[in-house]
Chain A
Amino acid sequence: MSSVHRAAVTVSVALLVAAASAQTPPLGAEEQTSALMRGEAYTGPSEPTPRGLDGKPNFTGFWRPVREPGKPGGNLGKDEPNFILPFNEVGKRAVLYTQNHTVDPEALCILGGIPRHNGSGLPFEVLHTPQRIAFTYNYNTNRLISIGNNLKKDPDPVPRYFGNSVAHWEGDTLVIETNGLRDSVTDKIWLDENGNPTSDQTQVVERWTRPDFHHFTLEMTVTDPKYYSRPFTFKRTWTRAPKGLGQQEYACNETNLAAEHIGPGAGPIGPDGNRGYGYSDPLPAVPPGPEAYSQD
């Protein structure tokens, strides 16, 4: 089981694609793992949103992503034309840098950070109390955020992978505002699975709702004037895993003996917006050069 997990964390998107196309033969261990991780559309009767001691929606639960047909996973350009983010001129250079000179931070077991985790194909679990909410992710990482109506963003925050966040309620929507993120050009952080860059000026606004028991939805706006020409939005829905399922220990670090041998970049991004080769396709004989990542 643990070896399957290890395989699954490397290119989660590839795993999900592989599983989706493997319907006919009996499920192997990889596909079973994937099935546990993958959300399914909920078609049963609508059940009311659970509420906390403060009367607000309670987001506690184990949430699994529902893939949208024709949309890539792990790509924050999912809702953009051709799945390509609106890089500015500096951003076009930054993406060449990340793809050719930086190792996928998750391959090094560095905290994946925000907004990357919101684009991940893997499930997450939320523990929600009236004043504090935790998002716990695979690789055994987490972020903790305070909730209050008068919390102020730190004007001069210490840079972090998950940034520095405060949350407040707007009606039944929990709004999480994050600044103080690390920068792809100086630190081990990517915007998403595809190796897109993020900067120390990035601000992320997440609007989370739980319209009924089974659904958890996100509308996220990422504003990064350093690498992108305009803000972009990203929408996503997760469904509640069956009762009794939850996240388990998911150790990332056991391969860290090999960290120095991992090459840079996410690998070429296909026209479908996905990274990765899947499990069955052969690796190319010659690794792709910088032209594979040019945004021109």
Chain B
Amino acid sequence: MSLIRSFALGAGVALLAACSQSPAPSGAAAPATPSAEDVLLGKPYNGPTVPTPRDADGKPLLTGYWKLLREPGKPDGNLAKDEPGLALPYSRQGRAALEYNLTRTIDPEARCLITGIPRLLTSVLPFEILHTKERLGTFHYLSWHRWVWLDGRQPEADPDPRYLGNAVGHWDGDVLVIESKGFKDSADGRFWLDDNGNPQSSQAQVVERWSRPDFHHLNLELTYTDPVYYTRPIRYTRSWVIGEPGEGLKEFSCEWNTPWVVNHLEPGPGKIGPDGNRGFGPDGQVVPDLPLGAVAHSSRGTGYWLYRKNKPKPSDLPAAP
């Protein structure tokens, strides 16, 4: 289990593939450990409806540990999930920027650069929200988090460019609307829109509409508007289910940014399948051996980017005791 998790957390979609490809330990019967899917993915909730928790002002509280309700046939880590043909409406500049990402940019997540917005929200992995009256935080795998102001302020006129943008929220009835602008730009060579290496510009605006219709469910309707790289706004919707009582996000540190990865990993996300999912990342290279410590603990990522389908590791190691 820890092996699977320690190398499967980089690109969201790779997780499930890794899980199904991992051989059972040879010899002795494997103990009945839950699969990565069981631990990390949400399962449909069919119990009685429990009302939405609310704060003293009567507004919904989004606090919780949220697991994705995966949509059959839809890709993860791909902002084109809800687009016809899984194709984003690139502008001419956008096509050039995509080409640059595919051929020149090492996946920023491989370098342990901050995973930005909206990419974080396309992840297949669980995340956690802590929601207070004037401030909300979303907490994600790889130890990233972002802050949102809910104190009634207006967005800054000229914010600093950030991976996570500059997020300000307000209520529209029972819907929390989070608007972000002031992003970095893929032209910098270290910022992607999603796992698939799509481009994002400094002119992008992200509007998230969050609702919690009952205790167990969290819904997102996201609109991505980027007049530089896309010809029209892109819509993206997702749903999550609350985690089990006592579950929460655990520390998982990003440590696979070794000098080899940072300097020599092939650019781009690797091949993207017809289903819109990428795989484990670029996989055509001969790679160095796994770094020391790569298999010791499930609480950090060390070897993921050195895993290759044609050079399987660390699944060639015996299972953890």
Contact = CB atoms under 8 A, between A and B. Distances in A.
Nearest to A249: B162
B114 A140 contact: yes
A274 to B, nearest CB: 28
B111 A256 contact: yes
Contacts of B164: 249
B186 to A, nearest CB: 15
Contact of A254 (B113, B137, B248): B113
Given A253-B112, A253-B113, A111 B297 contact: no
Interface stretch (A95-103, A153-161, A210-218, A232-240): A153-161
Contact of B112 (A136, A160, A248, A256): A256
Interface in A102-122: 109-111
A259 interface: yes
Contacts of B63: 129, 132
B153 A144 contact: no
A251 B108 CA distance: 13
B146 A249 contact: yes
Nearest to B111: A256
Contacts of B55: 53
A199 B177 CA distance: 45
B299 interface: yes
A256 B132 contact: no
A109 B112 contact: yes
A158 B255 CA distance: 16
A2 B163 CA distance: 12
A111 B137 contact: no
Interface string A258-272: 011000000000000
Contact of B253 (A53, A110, A140, A248): A110
B135 A144 contact: no
A289 interface: no
B310 interface: no
A127 B137 contact: yes
A243 B149 CA distance: 12
A111 B143 contact: yes
Interface string B98-132: 00000000000001111000000000000010111
Contacts of B136: 127
B147 interface: yes
Nearest to B143: A141
Contacts of A158: 2, 297-299
Sort chain A's interface into a size bin.
Answer: 35 or more
A66 interface: no
A126 to B, nearest CB: 9
Nearest to B249: A144
Given A136-B145, A246-B149, A129 B248 contact: no
B56 A53 contact: yes
Contacts of B151: 243-244
A256 B130 CA distance: 30
Interface string B297-312: 1110000000000000
B180 to A, nearest CB: 11
B262 interface: yes
Contacts of A92: none
B48 interface: no
Contact of B262 (A111, A141, A257): A257
A109 B113 CA distance: 10
B160 interface: yes
Nearest to A257: B262
Interface in A66-87: none
B84 interface: no
B139 interface: yes
Nearest to A127: B130
Contacts of B146: 249
A146 interface: yes
Interface in A139-166: 140-144, 146, 158-162
A60 interface: yes
A244 B113 CA distance: 27
Contacts of B162: 248-249, 251
A10 interface: no
Contacts of B111: 253, 256
A127 B297 contact: no
B63 to A, nearest CB: 5
Given A129-B130, A140-B145, A160 B299 contact: yes
A111 B114 contact: no
A125 B114 contact: no
B259 interface: yes
A251 B130 CA distance: 21
- List of 7 A-B pairs having minimum Cβ-Cβ separation, nearest first: A127-B130, A249-B162, A160-B251, A158-B299, A260-B259, A127-B137, A160-B299
Given A146-B246, A158-B298, A248-B162, 5 more contacts: A60-B132, A127-B132, A132-B248, A248-B147, A257-B263
18 contacts: A1-B160, A2-B160, A53-B55, A60-B132, A109-B257, A128-B132, A129-B131, A134-B130, A134-B145, A144-B248, A160-B251, A162-B251, A248-B160, A248-B162, A251-B162, A253-B257, A256-B111, A259-B257
